[in-house]
């Protein structure tokens, strides 16, 4: 009777090990689910550690006096550069941002002061003329309203609105609303200050945890490697490589594209002379962190402010924004993100809505990276479930023309 080799695990032992490791993974998942309200800061720290990992690796390979730079020293250099950048932002750019916000407030007050009854009637007559030339009979001025009352023919097919009374009533309602909710406004201001203080504390906490993740990255990877059966080690490494390609494209690529998008938007706003160029470019940069929806939301105020200075300027800046996103879609995304990180727009939209519903704005920011990980795992499992020839064809790409099978 032949004996089983000693290095080959018995089926029962292998089954027990798999059940034990599965129970460990399940217990970790249940713990994360039970404490999901405190998971987001640690997820943010892990994301920051992942973002700075290539830079930490490059710095740690540099030799100083014949010795490599420790990882903790490399991380301190990166954090120092980050805080220097934040300081320069506040010193050089925040005053510019404050001046533009003050300008917005002054122009809003000036516009409100110009809304005299005579000016309102002039605006109403201009709107009537513009609409009537396009076949839309609308009565907005007092003169047109009197004519609409006297002549029933125009009133039957037109729309009458006392613009002066409408604006006056709106201003009165807003003033009454502010007076009635003055206490709520004070409480809201206090809550904003408290939220800012809590946000600053959370930022330092997340950076501290990210430093721990980055310094002990090798030990963390080794620890999780012990939770995978040795016979599945090759599959786990291939899956991690696929996840890394997809996640690095989505996270690092999206950050790079945000900076490029904001810079090109700022250049276009300066070229076309759009007001509040720095403020609008800053909004476009941060909103670009949210794919699709962030781009649309940041483009709306840019086009509206440009339209206020003229139809041609609004059309020109809209064409510039479309050109930026065309360059992003057909050049930057393939070059920076790569095909491995490509997600279908439907998946991106679904993940954004799901993340916002579950965790609010923070969930929307994390939605696409999480979706990229899940899609990478799904695709890897799908390919593993196919026969070997199908997997080879899927990974090798299309056959050359001379090797294509003949058409039926």
Query: How far apart are alpha carbons 140 and 143 in whole angstroms?
Result: 8
Residues 257 and 194 in one domain: no
pLDDT digits (tens, 9 = 90+) for 6-36: 555 567 788 888 888 888 888 988 988 888 7
pLDDT of residue 397: 46
Residues 346 and 218 in one domain: no
The reply to whether 402 falls in a domain is no
The reply to whether 17 falls in a domain is no
Q: Higher confidence at residue 119 or residue 404?
A: 119
pLDDT of residue 100: 72
- Asked whether 317 and 295 are in contact (CB, 8 A), the reply is no
Mean pLDDT of 214-221: 86
Residues 203 and 79 in one domain: yes
The reply to whether 377 falls in a domain is yes
Residues 49 and 101 in one domain: yes
The reply to whether 44 falls in a domain is yes
Residue keyed to tokens 């007001």? 275
Range with the poorest average pLDDT among 99-113, 169-183, 321-335: 169-183
> Which residues in 15-29 are b (16+ Cβ under 10 Å) and which e?
eeeeeeeeeeeeeee
Report how far apart, in Å, the C-alpha atoms of 349 and of each of 246, 293, 340, 352 are.
17, 8, 18, 5
- Asked whether 93 and 140 are in contact (CB, 8 A), the reply is no
Strand intervals (E) in 286-402: none
Which range marks the domain in which residue 206 is found? 38-114+178-227
Query: How far apart are alpha carbons 105 and 113 in whole angstroms?
Result: 12
Residues 190 and 253 in one domain: no
Residues 70 and 218 in one domain: yes
Report how far apart, in Å, the C-alpha atoms of 78 and of each of 74, 85, 255, 339 are.
6, 11, 16, 29
Residues 223 and 233 in one domain: no
The reply to whether 20 falls in a domain is no
User: How many folded domains does the chain comprise?
Assistant: 2
Helix (H, G, I), strand (E, B) or coil at 3: coil
Residues 207 and 323 in one domain: no
Residues 77 and 199 in one domain: yes
pLDDT digits (tens, 9 = 90+) for 256-281: 878 888 888 888 888 888 877 888 88
pLDDT of 349 strictly over 50:
yes
Residues 210 and 315 in one domain: no
Residues 209 and 299 in one domain: no
Residue length of the chain? 408
Range with the poorest average pLDDT among 269-283, 297-311, 332-346: 332-346
pLDDT of residue 137: 65
Residues 60 and 86 in one domain: yes
pLDDT of residue 248: 76
Query: How far apart are alpha carbons 75 and 211 in whole angstroms?
Result: 7
């Amino acid at each position: 009777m032949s004996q089983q080799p000693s290095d080959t695990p018995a089926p029962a032992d292998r089954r027990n090990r798999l059940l034990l490791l599965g129970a460990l993974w399940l217990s970790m998942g249940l713990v994360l689910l039970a404490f999901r309200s405190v998971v987001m800061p640690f997820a943010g720290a892990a994301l920051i550690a992942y973002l700075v990992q290539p830079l930490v690796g490059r710095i740690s390979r540099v030799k100083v006096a014949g010795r490599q730079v420790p990882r903790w020293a490399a991380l301190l250099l990166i954090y120092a550069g980050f805080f220097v950048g934040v300081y320069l932002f506040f010193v050089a750019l925040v005053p510019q941002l404050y001046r533009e916000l003050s300008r917005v407030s002054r122009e809003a007050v000036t516009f409100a002061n110009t809304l005299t009854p005579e000016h309102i009637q002039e605006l109403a007559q201009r709107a009537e003329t513009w609409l009537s030339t396009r076949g839309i009979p609308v009565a907005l001025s007092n003169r047109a309203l009197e004519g609409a009352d006297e002549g029933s023919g125009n009133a039957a097919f037109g729309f009458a609105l006392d613009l002066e009374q409408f604006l006056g009533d709106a201003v009165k309602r807003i003033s009454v609303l502010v007076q009635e909710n003055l206490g709520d406004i004070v409480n809201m201001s206090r809550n904003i200050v408290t939220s800012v203080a809590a946000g600053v504390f959370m930022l330092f906490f997340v950076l501290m945890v990210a430093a721990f993740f980055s310094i002990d990255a090798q030990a963390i990877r080794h620890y999780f490697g012990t939770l995978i059966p040795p016979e599945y080690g090759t599959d786990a490494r291939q899956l991690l490589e696929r996840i890394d390609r997809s996640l690095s494209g989505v996270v690092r690529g999206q950050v790079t594209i945000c900076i490029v998008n904001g810079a090109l938007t700022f250049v276009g706003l300066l070229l076309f002379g759009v007001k509040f160029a720095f403020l609008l470019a800053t909004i476009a940069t941060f909103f670009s962190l949210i794919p699709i929806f962030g781009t649309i939301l940041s483009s709306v105020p840019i086009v509206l402010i440009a339209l206020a200075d003229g139809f041609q300027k609004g059309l020109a800046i809209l064409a510039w924004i479309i050109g930026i996103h065309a360059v992003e879609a057909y050049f930057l995304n393939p070059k920076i993100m790569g095909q491995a990180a490509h997600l279908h727009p439907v998946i991106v939209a679904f993940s954004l809505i799901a993340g916002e519903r579950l965790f609010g704005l923070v969930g929307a920011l994390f939605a696409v990276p999480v979706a990229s990980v899940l899609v990478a795992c799904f695709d890897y499992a799908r390919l593993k479930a196919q026969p070997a020839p199908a997997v080879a064809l899927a990974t090798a790409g299309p056959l050359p023309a001379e090797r294509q099978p003949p058409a039926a």
